[in-house]
Amino acid sequence: MPEIAPPYEILEIPAGEKRVLHVVRYEEGTMVIHPTYPGAPDEKRVEGIRIHVKPEDKGYLPYYWDITPAHLVQGLKPILPTLQGTDRTLTIQAFLTRPGDPASKRFRLEY
């Protein structure tokens, strides 16, 4: 699997909030992240997806978001090919399933 080149723009969605995106194109690959939760390794290689979006979806450069939560990455894989380059939107909503440090979040996808 190819590596997704930095700089990374990790998409963080607080629990209870959502983001609406137009998928211009996307890339799948690996990324090196630096987790911050207690006891986390200094760095970790994970599978990720970079979603390139319309400028109005983000408002500043670069016009992409990097997604790393494993459950969300797996949920997006079958959906992204059908959305890429269309005017359809992808809505990602986050839900807190377990509070704590680290907390556990899951996501709902609508398109």
Contacts of 47 (CB under 8 A, 6+ apart): 1, 28, 29, 30, 68, 70, 73
Domain of residue 45: give its range.
Answer: 18-110
Q: What is the domain count for the chain? A: 1
The answer to whether position 84 is within a domain reads: yes
Residue type, 65: W
- Flag whether pLDDT at 9 surpasses 80: yes
pLDDT bucket at 37, cuts 50 / 70 / 90? confident
- pLDDT tens per residue, range 79-99: 999 999 999 999 999 998 777
Query: Looking at the predicted structure, is the pLDDT value of residue 102 above 70?
Result: no
- Give CA–CA dist 104/36, Å, rounded: 14
pLDDT digits (tens, 9 = 90+) for 67-81: 999 999 999 999 999
On whether residue 3 sits in a domain, the answer given is no
Please check whether residue 4 lies inside any domain of the structure: no
Smallest Cα–Cα separation from 68: which of 109, 20, 14, 9?
A: 9
